[in-house]
Amino acid sequence: MSYLSISHLQKSFNDLLALNDISLEIEKGEFICFLGPSGCGKTTLLRTICGLESQDSGSIIQDSVDISRLSAEKRDFGIVFQSYALFPNLSVFDNIAFGLVNQRRPKQEITDKVNELLSLTGLQEHAQKYPSQLSGGQQQRVALCRALAMEPGLLLLDEPLSALDAKIREHLRREICRIHRKLGLTTIMVTHDQTEAMTMADRIVVMNAGRIEHVGTPEEIYLQPASAFVADFIGTSNTLYGEIKDTSLLLPGWTAPVALVEKRTGGETTILIRPEHLTLHNEQPSGPHAQGTISDIEFLGSQLSVELKLDDHQTQSNKALKATLSLQDAHHLTLTRNCPVWISVQPNNVCLLAEQEASAA
């Protein structure tokens, strides 16, 4: 049995359906990210798991115990909020020790546990400081220590890095992952930042409008998105519309069919291609290709982002494409605005949406 099993969870706020038939299995020791835009239900799902919100229906089983109707204080979790929620009148040491003191643990046990966590997070020299004397990143580490002090079975992180600047956020991403691996805690983090989810999670739960759109590893979510929403939300994608005939894909403006790796039912379909999977040519290639014009070029440091307008005879939905090239590849091409270019793609880099999604599109 999974460590955390969520089954058919429903939650409404007046006329707003915040959670719509949510079912999810989480294994012990996994790092899971709930990812989605504002208002998608990810924070409501986290708050329902820890008992700060009560579901209208459905069940939550944690480590073989039904916690669906337990109060928050009776559930086995530690939580770190976006706002840190530290006690300003307590030192770092006393903030971390707070829960242990309330449980009347032996003094030496408290001291040993707090010192262990201070060492784990590199906060030893700040033990007697107050929150106002710490940076945002240090405060967030104190909040993490306080959650870990109770040795919870489940660690919940509610957008813990969103208030920090980019460099500190990147450092704390690595710190949280290191602590997670060291302790082996089952961890759930809510975020709207796709980079956080892609770099930290074992699996990502992409949510939209109260529903789960896709559950998978970062690689699965990126390369084989379950829907156009997932493809658009995670990274950048090109959406094309074509027709499948046996193992060939017909795209408007392409000189020849693109061979598909697997046979799919014929008919209209939605195609997703990542910008880095488009190949640009100065000269007409021999295989299937389309022709267009470079409308914009953006320098991104190690890469170039190129916007392409396909020829006018193609359908409106197929007019604009994005391509990403490494600087090394770009040096072999002469790329300037308004110059013609030829575009090709390898068959294994063409992602077809699920047939029901494609027909809906």
- Distance, CA of 42 to chain centre: 11
User: Within this chain, do residues 142 and 289 fall inside the same structural domain, yes or no?
Assistant: no
Tell me which of 15-24, 58-67, 133-142, 259-268 is least confident: 259-268
- 87 with 215, same domain: the answer is yes
Predicted local distance difference test score (pLDDT) of residue 231:
87
What are the backbone dihedrals phi and psi of residue 14, each rounded to the nearest 5 degrees, phi first?
55, -115
Domain identity same for 218 and 245:
no
Distance between CA atoms of 95 and 113, rounded to whole angstroms?
Answer: 13
Instruction: State the residue for tokens 């896709």.
Output: 214
∠ CA 200-204-207, nearest 5°, is: 135
Query: How many domains does the structure of the chain reveal?
Result: 2
Domain boundary at 228, 259, 284, which? 228
Specify the amino acid at residue 94.
D
Residue that terminates a domain, selected from 180, 204, 228:
228
Note the pLDDT tens digit of each residue in 152-185: 999 999 998 887 888 888 889 999 999 999 999 9
Instruction: Supply the pTM of this predicted model.
Output: 0.88
Q: Are residues 190 and 248 in the same domain?
A: no
Same domain as 10, residue 157: yes
The CATH number that applies at residue 254 is 2.40.50.100
**Does residue 19 sit in the same domain as residue 137?**
yes
Cα dist from 200 to 35, 62, 161, 176, 204, whole Å: 12, 23, 12, 9, 9
pLDDT of residue 361: 36
Taking residues 226-247, what's their average pLDDT? 86
Lowest mean pLDDT among 69-78, 163-172, 348-357: 348-357
Answer yes or no: do 224 and 250 share one domain.
no
Q: Are residues 132 and 206 in the same domain?
A: yes
Range of the domain at 46: 4-228
pLDDT in tens, 274-294: 999 999 998 999 889 999 899
Considering the domain architecture, whether residues 64 and 103 belong to the same structural domain is answered as: yes
Answer yes or no: do 224 and 240 share one domain. Answer: no
Residues 186 and 333 in one domain: no
* Alpha-carbon torsion, ordered 74, 77, 81, 85, to 10 deg: 60
How does the average pLDDT of the chain come out, rounded? 89
End position of a domain, from candidates 228, 251, 282: 228
- CA–CA distance, 213 with 205 (Å, rounded to integer): 8
> In sequence order, which ranges of the chain are alpha helices (DSSP H)?
42-50, 92-102, 107-120, 136-149, 166-183, 194-200, 218-223, 228-233, 327-331, 355-360
Strand stretches in the chain, DSSP E:
4-13, 16-26, 31-35, 57-62, 65-66, 78-80, 154-158, 186-191, 203-208, 211-216, 238-245, 248-250, 258-259, 267-273, 278-281, 290-299, 303-310, 320-326, 340-345, 351-352
CATH of the domain at 214: 3.40.50.300
β-strands 303-310, 320-326 pairing: antiparallel
Based on the fold, state whether residues 203 and 75 are members of the same structural domain: yes
**Would the pLDDT of 4 be above 50?**
yes
